[in-house]
Amino acid sequence: MPRTEGLVSLPKLMEGMEEMMDWRTERFSRRQFLVAGGSALAGSLLARTTLADATSPKTLVWANEFADKRTQTKIHQYFVQPFARHHGAKIQIEILSSNLDQQLKLLMASGKDPDIYDENGPSWIPPFYDTGHALVLDEFDRYFHWKEKILPWCYEPCVYNGHLITVPDEYESLHLWYNVELFHKHDWKIPTDWKELTALCAEIQAKGIIPFAFGSQDWPPAVEWWMSYAFNAYVGPAQMYQVLTGRSKWTEPEVAEAMVRLKYLWQKGWIGERKNSALTVNGATGQLAAGKAAMKMEGTWMFSSIDTYHFRYGVDMLPMWNNVANVYPIGIGEVTSADAKTKNRELAGQFLNVFVGYPALDAPWVDQFIGAYVPCIKIPSDMWPKNANPLFKKVCLQMQDAMAVNHCGYLSWTQWPAKTEAYMWNNLMSVWEGSMTVQDFLRGTQQVFDQERKAGQLPVVTKFA
């Protein structure tokens, strides 16, 4: 519609009003006044709407979970503003901070679908696809050559029923974080196997220090970090691949033994003194920083906040518990999808392309979003920003090397089907506390897994070993 049409209509309406309102003869009736007033209001609204339609840029609503001002400022600086400038579009951010998945689903259930949304991992997206809330991205995949650019193990779990339904925008791995000063003071060494791990935990506990800081009060699913670690450390990726693809059972002795050993660590009080339900995730990091705990098992996402604690920390590989090769349990920590109901599909596709990682190569992007957004592409060593956190850079490059030789493991929020994952983290504390046996836990897991397998809801799992 021509932009001037609305502007022309308003004076005409005013002329009409003047004709009707003959003040001198006082022949202006109440009905005429109401009609004229209503017409003027409707006209002006129409004019405003028409004008707005013609001049407003296209708007994309992006639902993400980063509520802190620092990250939002960076998001505006590195994502929103460059994209908006380049495409003449407007990005409106909807912050869903307390529980991304819940809030997103409630938002959609109320009919307020965002155009773009973040989620906790690829296994969280199939329910959105099945209900018409995830756009099939195959067309953009072909156009932008995402399949060639994205690391294969990151790309594959994003494919569901033969279609790409989300893009990964961050990968992560579980690590052993430790308080360097405590380790130096007591001459402790990083454990490399089960025997060394248990011996060190006993020694640390004997000194009145918590071996592993751990809190899950504000994020109960955090218990699955330990579960994923246990499976990789004892069962190993080769057999876990068999389990995750349904070729082997969750009730296999090795799988059960991994849970038994994890329960042992927890019951000994080595993991958060068995008080993780009453401590937050950040509270546990505070214990590590204050020297009240010697180690913490957490993912690379901790790089985004650990420097605010101001202490000397180290990061290393987690010890294995069995005769399995040392692996990095890797997974996708965040994915971004487009809603199938978006009215700006093309723009949405272009926005998703931002996450595939190009800005990382020509901007200090990786360092700015350290631990929050890590492009799932291969970033050569010489392309890293000069001021990048050296530990983060080292860890990322080690992960990339491990990926190159398939020395990787699995994380439950990436390679587990959604309901199986939820069942496991929801019942793991019952196993640790002893109110549920390991056998019952695994039988229940197998039951849920079989249902999802039957429904065709297993994610694509990359074979690492």
Instruction: For other proteins, give the closer residue by CB, 190 or 429.
Output: 429
CA atoms within 13 A on the CB side of 125: 35
Told to check if 447 binds other proteins by CB under 8 A, we report no
DSSP state of 231: I
Told to check if 278 binds other proteins by CB under 8 A, we report yes
Instruction: For other proteins, give the closer residue by CB, 84 or 436.
Output: 436
Instruction: For other proteins, give the closer residue by CB, 74 or 263.
Output: 263
Q: Which residues contact 107 (CB under 8 A, 6 or more apart)?
A: 63, 94, 96, 113, 114
Q: Which residues contact 240 (CB under 8 A, 6 or more apart)?
A: 231, 232, 409, 410
DSSP state of 38: H
Q: Tell me the number of residues near other proteins by CB under 8 A.
A: 32
How far are the Cα atoms of 60, 268, 274, 285, 415 from residue 332, in angstroms, in the given order? Answer: 24, 31, 28, 22, 9
Told to check if 287 binds other proteins by CB under 8 A, we report yes
**Residues in region 106-125 near other proteins by CB under 8 A:** 106, 108-109
Instruction: For other proteins, give the closer residue by CB, 151 or 293.
Output: 293
- Would you state the structure tokens that stand for residue 225, as one six-digit string? 């970090």
CA distance 406 to 411: 15
Binds other proteins (CB under 8 A): choice among 422, 438, 460, 465: 422
Instruction: Tell me how far, at minimum, the Cβ of 278 lies from other proteins, in Å.
Output: 4
Secondary structure element (H or E) that encloses residue 306, with its range: none
Binds other proteins (CB under 8 A): choice among 153, 241, 432, 464: 432
Told to check if 130 binds other proteins by CB under 8 A, we report yes
The contacts found for 36-45 with CB under 8 angstroms, 24 or more apart, are: 39/13, 40/13, 40/14, 43/9, 43/10, 43/13, 44/10
CA atoms within 13 A on the CB side of 237: 20
Secondary structure element (H or E) that encloses residue 137, with its range: none
Binds other proteins (CB under 8 A): choice among 77, 102, 267, 308: 102
Binds other proteins (CB under 8 A): choice among 435, 439, 447, 451: 435
Instruction: For other proteins, give the closer residue by CB, 72 or 205.
Output: 205
Told to check if 281 binds other proteins by CB under 8 A, we report no
Instruction: For other proteins, give the closer residue by CB, 350 or 457.
Output: 457
Binds other proteins (CB under 8 A): choice among 16, 82, 220, 364: 220
Told to check if 179 binds other proteins by CB under 8 A, we report no
Tell how strand 293-299 and strand 313-316 pair up. unpaired
Told to check if 436 binds other proteins by CB under 8 A, we report yes
Write out the residues near other proteins by the rule CB under 8 A.
99, 102, 105-106, 108-109, 127-128, 130-133, 217, 220, 273-279, 283, 287, 292, 422, 426, 429-430, 432-433, 435-436
